[in-house]
Amino acid sequence: MNTRIASDAERDVAASDDLLALENQVCFALAVAARGVIGLYRPILEPLGLTHPQYLVMLALWQRSPRTVRDLGSALQLEPATLSPLLKRLEAQGYLTRERSTRDERALDVSLTDAGRALRAQALEIPPQVVDRLGMSLDELGSLRDRLTEVIAAVQHTA
């Protein structure tokens, strides 16, 4: 993966004026950046037995537990259909339990197990590792996060 994303622009001299040029598409830059950064997590999360989406679920549960599937979906901007098998696999790994809520039998209470709670200590080492590998400053990353948060707000404003 040593080909830079600009390499095609160098070959297509008119690309900067082309509405449909790949490198002019924010959606493309978002997709590639997201995939790239998530890819950095993969080897780091592997020893913990987590995929990146599972890591995000754990982050949400470390913040607050128990939570319903609906609540997790809202926090993570994911559909219940995505979360259902994902949570099932995390339950199978012993990190969480899913129990029918006593307040509303349609809902599940997703709770951390002791193993799930204990995993947080290892997870604390992850962000610094990723930041280190990325080689971007905390200011840059913070600023980027703020910009992305604005994009997310704009998208949600269209609904």
Partner DNA sequence: TCATAATCGTTAGTGTACTAACGATTCGTG
Partner DNA sequence: CACGAATCGTTAGTACACTAACGATTATGA
Binding segment toward DNA, per CB under 7 A, in 2-10, 74-82, 124-132, 149-157: 74-82
Under rule CB under 7 A, which residues in 22-61 are in contact with DNA?
31, 35, 39, 42, 51-54
Whether cis (ω within 30° of 0) applies to the bond prior to 43 is no
Out of DNA, a second copy, none, what residue 118 binds, judged by CB under 5 to 8 A for its kind, is none
- Angstrom distances, CA of residue 30 to CA of 33, 144, 147: 5, 12, 12
Nearer to a second copy, 101 or 152 (CB): 152
Is 135 strand, coil or helix? coil
CA-to-CA distance for 154 and 159, rounded, in angstroms? Answer: 9
Site for a second copy in 108-137 (CB under 8 A): 120, 123-124, 127, 130, 133-136
Least distance to a second copy, CB of residue 84, Å = 17
Find the binder of DNA among 4, 10, 26, 85 (CB under 7 A).
Answer: 85
Would you list the DSSP string of 110-124? EEE-HHHHHHHHHHT
Tokens 């989406």 found at:
53
* Cα three-residue angle 30-63-136, rounded to 5 degrees: 40
Write out the residues near DNA by the rule CB under 7 A.
31, 35, 39, 42, 51-54, 68-70, 73, 77-89, 98, 101, 104-108
